[in-house]
Amino acid sequence: MLTEEIVYSDRLSSLTALAREGVTLALGTGALCETTDIVLRRLGLAGFFSKVVTAEDVTEGKPSPECYQNIIARAAFSPGKTSVLEDSSSGLAAALAAEAYAASAPTGETTRRLRFIGSFADLTALPLNLRIGN
């Protein structure tokens, strides 16, 4: 079993900055609920997300927009005022199909689709750019 840990060194500072700016944060993942809970606690991120949607909450995984549609509905967001950060092409496609704004980091994923904010090398560049959808 391949277990590669991906950790973004700027995760805490970036999430803290977004939370301080009053940005409501939610998480959509293809992982199971138990795995998601373990990872969020281990990385010290559990308290940042007001809503969490896991693989157990949807019938179709990304690139289906169901995950993000679920988050948007649960949080009573408007798709046009929602910004999504993704690290995969399927996740980026899902976010855009849900009619949210979307950015990628740090993978370099890009698209020419409407509502694509841009691709960023790391999370520290995001707080100001995420305001586009807000």
For residue 88, what is the domain's CATH number?
3.40.50.1000
Asked whether residue 3 is domain-assigned, the answer is no
Asked whether residue 50 is domain-assigned, the answer is yes
Asked whether residue 84 is domain-assigned, the answer is yes
φ/ψ region of 22 (left if φ > 0, alpha if ψ in -120 to 50, else beta) reads left
Question: Is 80 exceeded by the pLDDT of residue 46?
Answer: yes
How does residue 8 score in pLDDT terms, banded at 50, 70 and 90? low
95-120 confidence digits (pLDDT tens): 999 999 998 887 778 888 888 988 88
Which residue, 68, 74, 129, 70, is CA-closest to 93? 68
How does residue 50 score in pLDDT terms, banded at 50, 70 and 90? very high
Asked whether residue 17 is domain-assigned, the answer is yes
Question: Is 70 exceeded by the pLDDT of residue 6?
Answer: no
Provide the residue range defining the domain that includes 102. Answer: 11-133
Q: Between these two residues, 21 and 30, which has the higher pLDDT value?
A: 30
Q: What is the reported pLDDT for 14?
A: 80
Asked whether residue 98 is domain-assigned, the answer is yes
Number of domains in the chain: 1
How does residue 63 score in pLDDT terms, banded at 50, 70 and 90? very high
